[in-house]
Structure 1
Amino acid sequence: MTIHYPGHGLDRADHSRTDPALLAALRARADARLLLLDALSPVLNPANRLSFGAAADLPPDAETVFLGMDGEVPVFAAVPAEGDDRPAFRQKPNWAAIALLGAQDMALYASARSLVDWHARHRFCARCGAPTVIAKGGWQRDCPSCTAQHFPRTDPVAIMLVEHEGDLLLGRGTQFPPHSYSALAGFIEPGETIEQAVAREVWEEAGVRVHSVRYIGSQPWPFPSQLMIGCHALADARDLTVDYTELADARWFTRAEVAEAMERRSDAAAFIPPPAQAIANAMLGWWLERTR
C-alpha cells in the first residue's frame, strides 16, 4: 500500500540537537536552508516544490526548528507568530497546496508544520504558566521558571475499513463535501489498544460490532499533529445505528461501487472517495487489490 508522507529523506541528526553551539553554527552557515512558509501554508516554487530561503537571513532572536541535514546542508523552519489548530477541512489553502506536492516534499512539510505549529501554540508552561524557551533544536520547550520540559505531541487516530461479506462500511462526516465518504476514524483514548479503539469507535459511530482487527499502515497528518493508524476489521453484522452527532451518514458499499468511485469511471458513482493524499484513499486501494 502506497501512503503519502513516507519520509522526507533528511537525516534528523538527533545528536546535534543537544549542542546549542553547533546548532547556532549550522544556522549561521551561508548554505543553511530555511523552509519558506506563509503562516503555516507551504510556499511552492514554479515546479510545485517546496521553496527555501537562507536561514542566516532570519533575525537572531527568531525561533527556529532544526529539521535535519540534507546531505551536508542543514535545514530549518521558523516558528510563526500564531499557530492553527483548526481541523483539515477548514484549511483550504493547505489542501490546495499539498495536493500539488510530491511525496517527499509532503513528508517534509508535514513534519515542519506539526513542529512549528506546536511551538506557536505552546509558548507558556502548562505547569506554572511562565514563558517557555525553545530547546533541543526545536524538539522540546523548557520552562526556566519551574524547569519543566515539554515535548511536541502526536495524537494517535485509528482509521478503519470495516468489511462484511464483501461490502465495505464508509461514513460521511458532518463537514464533508456533498456525496463524499471515507473510512470511519477516531482518536485512541488513554489506556486503549489500537484494536480496542477501532472496536469502540465503530460501535459508537455506526452501532456495529467488529472483530479480527488488523493493522494496515500509518501516516502522519499535520492538521494539527496526528498519526493516522490504518486498520481493517470484520463486522459481526451489517445493521447500522448511526450516531448523527458524529456522522452525517454511514452505509455499506459493494466492491463494484468502491472500484467505480476510486476509478472515477462515472459521474454517477456511488460516492466521492477521499483525496489521494489521505491515508483513507490508500486504504481503499489496498482493499480493492486484496479483494480482486
Structure 2
Amino acid sequence: MGPLDDITFGGGGLDRVAEIRPDSQAVAELLAREDARVLPLWRGRLLIAQGRLAALPAGHAAFDGADEPPVLLGREASGAGLFARPVSDWAGAPERPDPAEAVADPRIAAGRFVELRGAMAGLGSRDSELAAMARAVLNWHAAHRFCARCGAPSRMAEAGWRRDCAACGTPHFPRTDPVVIMLVTHGDAVLLGRAPAWPETMHSVLAGFVEPGETVEAAVRREVAEEVGVAVGPVRYVASQPWPFPASLMLGCRAEALGRARPVLRPDPAEIAAAHWVPRQEMARIFAGENARIAAPIMGSIARHLLWNWLAGRLD
C-alpha cells in the first residue's frame, strides 16, 4: 500500500459492471429489483444520513417527473444495483439548498442534502467513489443535452454512460478533464500559492489543466513557469484523485526547482495572488494550526496528501 492509497475519491473497489451497460434488459432487471437503490442529486448536493451517503428506493417520489432514466453506477456484493438520478423538488425536500435543513422523509434518518466538497473528508472509500461518480456524470448529462456536432437533442444510452444524437447519430461520452497538481520543492522548502478568489489564509500546491497534445510532465513545467516564473527539472508522477468539481482527474506530481539558489517567485497576478517558499519546519507548524497566515489545504484533497507525505518524508 502506498502513502496515497487512502485518498478521498481514490476508489473503494466498486464493481462498476461496465459489461452490462449496453444490455438494456439487464440494466432494467437490476433497477427493478426490490433492493435496488438510487443516489439522489438535488441542486448539486448529495444526500447524507448519519455520516454515510444515503440512497432511495428506485420508485421514491423524489424521482417523479424525471425526464431521463437513472445512471447505473455499479453493483453491491449482494447483487443489488446502485444508480444515481437528479431529483425534483418533491414534498419531502427542503425549500432551500440549506445543508442544515433535514429532509422531511421518515425513511431517511436525519438525512440532509450536503455540498460534497464540505462532506468529502468524512466519507469512506466506497461512499466517496460513488459520490464522485454520481456528481460528475449527472452534471455531465445536465450540461450535454444537445449534440455538440449538429445541435439536435441527444438521449441517454448505455445506462447513462453515453449520449446519442437522434439526428446525426454521433455518440458522446462523459468528459473528464486532466489536471496536473504538483508539489514543487527546492531543498527543504515547498512551494505554496493562493488563488485570487481564495480566502487570505487558504493556500495549496500549484495546479493547472493539461492542454491538448501535452504530456503530464510538460504541463507541470509549463504551469509552474507560467504561474510563478520557476523552472523545474525532472517530474515524477505520485498519485491521482478524481475531483468531481465538476469533473477533473487530478494527476499528483513531484518536481524540484532548478538552480542552487532558491528561485525568486514571480506570481502571475491573474492566477496567483501570493506565493511562498515554506520550509519543512514551518510546514509542520501549518499542519498543527500554529500559523495564522497560512492554512493547510482541505481534508481529503490530494494537495493535503502530497504535502503531508512530503512532510513525513514519504515522497523523498
Question: In the superposition, relative to structure 1, how do residues 184 and 157 fare at CA in structure 2: closer, same or farther (>3 Å)?
Answer: same
Aligned to 2:280: 255
Which amino acid letter does the alignment assign opposite residue 71 of structure 2? V
2: CA distance between counterparts of 1:137 and 1:258? Answer: 46
User: Is the CA contact (8 Å cut-off) linking 1:27 and 1:56 kept in structure 2?
Assistant: no
Which amino acid letter does the alignment assign opposite residue 72 of structure 2? F
From 30, 40, 43, give the equivalent of 1:39. 43
Which amino acid letter does the alignment assign opposite residue 187 of structure 2? E
From 206, 223, 228, give the equivalent of 2:228. 206
From 183, 204, 216, give the equivalent of 1:182. 204
User: Is the CA contact (8 Å cut-off) linking 1:29 and 1:56 kept in structure 2?
Assistant: no
Which amino acid letter does the alignment assign opposite residue 14 of structure 1? A
Deviations 1:7-42 (A, max 9, x none): 133211111101111111211222110113322211
Aligned to 1:279: 302
**Count of aligned positions:** 279
Matching of residue 109 in structure 1 with residue 109 in structure 2? no
Q: What SS does the corresponding residue of 1:44 show, helix, strand or coil?
A: strand
Aligned to 2:102: none
2: CA distance between counterparts of 1:119 and 1:36? Answer: 14
Aligned to 2:193: 171
5+ residue gaps, structure 2, are: 89-113
Matching of residue 27 in structure 1 with residue 52 in structure 2? no
Q: What SS does the corresponding residue of 2:59 show, helix, strand or coil?
A: helix
Q: Which moved more, 1:160-169 or 1:53-62?
A: 53-62
Aligned to 2:52: 49
Q: What SS does the corresponding residue of 2:251 show, helix, strand or coil?
A: strand
Structure with the higher fraction of residues in helix conformation: 1
Aligned to 2:184: 162
2: CA distance between counterparts of 1:175 and 1:218? Answer: 25
1: CA distance between counterparts of 2:293 and 2:282? Answer: 6
- After TM superposition, give the deviation of residue 243 of structure 1 in Å: 0.3
- After TM superposition, give the deviation of residue 173 of structure 1 in Å: 0.8
Matching of residue 69 in structure 1 with residue 75 in structure 2? yes
Q: Which moved more, 1:97-106 or 1:122-131?
A: 97-106
From 117, 141, 166, give the equivalent of 1:95. 117
CA RMSD of aligned residues (A): 1.8
From 8, 14, 30, give the equivalent of 2:18. 14
Deviation beyond 3 Å, 4+ runs, structure 1: 56-62
User: Is the CA contact (8 Å cut-off) linking 1:7 and 1:107 kept in structure 2?
Assistant: yes
- After TM superposition, give the deviation of residue 99 of structure 1 in Å: 3.8
1: CA distance between counterparts of 2:124 and 2:173? Answer: 29
2: CA distance between counterparts of 1:39 and 1:218? Answer: 27
User: Is the CA contact (8 Å cut-off) linking 2:14 and 2:126 kept in structure 1?
Assistant: no
2: CA distance between counterparts of 1:100 and 1:38? Answer: 20
Deviations 1:145-182 (A, max 9, x none): 10000000100000001111211111011121211210
User: Is the CA contact (8 Å cut-off) linking 1:154 and 1:227 kept in structure 2?
Assistant: yes
Identical residues among aligned pairs (%)? 45
Deviations 1:65-122 (A, max 9, x none): 00010121001101468xxxxxxxxxx9333332432332122101110001100110
The TM-score with structure 1 as length reference comes to 0.90
Which amino acid letter does the alignment assign opposite residue 67 of structure 1? L
Aligned to 2:85: 78
User: Is the CA contact (8 Å cut-off) linking 1:18 and 1:136 kept in structure 2?
Assistant: yes
Q: What SS does the corresponding residue of 2:122 show, helix, strand or coil?
A: coil
User: Is the CA contact (8 Å cut-off) linking 2:72 and 2:82 kept in structure 1?
Assistant: yes
5+ residue gaps, structure 1, are: 82-91
